[in-house]
Chain A
């Protein structure tokens, strides 16, 4: 009987397959499924009310507006999806199985990251579709007031900032590996920190000069408007991005690679 394992016929699990499985894991649980439903439901409800209002008031309607509202609403919840992609492996202990099937953990984490970005794209597409559908209704009712103008710059800008938010949530999740803690910390990072930085900047001129290098959210505001110009703004973006995305992700990754999985 052979004492060795014949591995010649076995190839590595391809990365694409890992990504597909990770995408599937995002919606195959009750929690993940309902989160996705909630995102879509919120968008539909808000847009629905907006639609009713604009029709009742006979206001002009822009596809731009509908898509913008949809995307904005989604932007609150999408990073939570990214967080859960990472933390639920730990809280549910399925990491035991995941890392047995693919012992190179860095590949699994990268697959999760790619899945998170793909989810951003998918959600954006859904926002576009929903926006189009609602604009269509307006078109049918009040064609003179309906405009199909859609600013490509806005969409692209939105995609970039959303992806960065997703990665931000993802990085925090790998660092903490705990769902509630990551969610809370992410909310602080995204919504509270900018205010704190603003306050600090107003009291201290020293901080005011340092802030742009630290405040990632502020640095991103120019992306949305596509008014990034000059080396300075790019530099601020890259450095603060490094601080808030790359560093936590690197630490989190190191932690996952070395953790003992029980």
Chain B
């Protein structure tokens, strides 16, 4: 130790903030560097491939256009991609990384934003990959005797593949931030995607009034026009999506972000 007293202040002038791009890249890396994250994505893509192969042999030859094949990843991704997102967020709490992550970047809102960006980036990459797989599938369909139809309805691409998956991803974010526990969030997600629609179906069968109001209050039902032909929701359908979306997507998302910003990590 030198005899002169060291200055009491820390000179921060030469240290810039961690740039958002770096934060987002790190978050994306975190999703992939664990065995669980990697295997999940590999599993999703593998499942898409397997189903495409089966479809190529099972389907009628006139239903083997690109349009038909694209629905396979559209459906599969929608089911499993939110789980990748859930793990991205909840692993901070489950594996207690939060202690490290939020000390390296104490402005939590930036981490939240970085996670969103990384999640969306990952999802888009997987979607692109899935489209590639769909093209491969169509080729396989050609080989197995299908009519080659490379026409794809723009509505299908945008609403069924992109928008509904995006919604699913944000739901994954909302659930994971609210529950902050991997197993809990995954269970909640399956409740949301499996139980809710079933409950609605049962109740709809009991009452036609219920069947009418269902799309206004249950988000899965409201999204049906997005994922089924003719892929162009009408005005009233948009209104239904907006209201049920506000209840089931916006509200949890807002609550979840608020919570994540304030939670104590141990």
Query: CB atoms of A and B under 8 A apart anywhere in the complex?
Result: yes
Chain A: residues with CB nearer than 8 A to chain B? 31, 34-35, 38, 42, 46, 49-50, 53-54, 56-57, 59, 69, 72-73, 76-77, 80, 84, 87-88, 91, 178-181, 183-184, 187, 191, 196, 199-200, 202-204
With both beta carbons as reference points, the residue of chain B lying nearest to A87 in the complex is identified as B183
Nearest Cβ distance between residue A52 and chain B, in whole angstroms?
A: 9
Q: Is B202 an interface residue (CB 8 A)?
A: yes
Q: Is B152 an interface residue (CB 8 A)?
A: no
Q: Please, how many angstroms separate the alpha-carbon atoms of A88 and B87 in the complex?
A: 16
**Chain B: interface secondary structure?**
helix
**Chain A: interface secondary structure?**
helix
Do A77 and B184 contact each other (CB < 8 Å), given the known contacts A53-B207, A199-B54, A199-B58?
no
With both beta carbons as reference points, the residue of chain A lying nearest to B59 in the complex is identified as A203
Chain B: residues with CB nearer than 8 A to chain A? 36, 39-40, 51, 54-55, 57-58, 80, 83, 87, 94, 181-184, 186-187, 190-191, 194-195, 198-199, 202-203, 206-207, 209-210
Chain A contacts for B182, CB-based, 8 A:
179-180
Q: Please, how many angstroms separate the alpha-carbon atoms of A88 and B94 in the complex?
A: 12
Enumerate the 4 nearest inter-chain pairs by beta-carbon distance, A residue then B residue, closest first.
A203-B58, A179-B183, A53-B207, A203-B57
Chain A contacts for B83, CB-based, 8 A:
180, 184
Q: Please, how many angstroms separate the alpha-carbon atoms of A88 and B183 in the complex?
A: 9
Contact A77 B210, beta carbon cutoff 8 Å: no
Query: B87 contacts which of A72, A76, A180, A200 (Cβ < 8 Å)?
Result: A180
Contact B187 A77, beta carbon cutoff 8 Å: yes
Chain A contacts for B51, CB-based, 8 A:
196
Query: B190 contacts which of A54, A57, A76, A204 (Cβ < 8 Å)?
Result: A76
Chain A contacts for B94, CB-based, 8 A:
91
Chain B contacts for A49, CB-based, 8 A:
203, 210
Q: Which of B39, B187, B209 has the most CB of A within 10 A?
A: B187
Query: A199 contacts which of B40, B55, B186, B194 (Cβ < 8 Å)?
Result: B55
Contact B203 A53, beta carbon cutoff 8 Å: yes
Contact A50 B54, beta carbon cutoff 8 Å: no
Q: Please, how many angstroms separate the alpha-carbon atoms of A181 and B35 in the complex?
A: 11
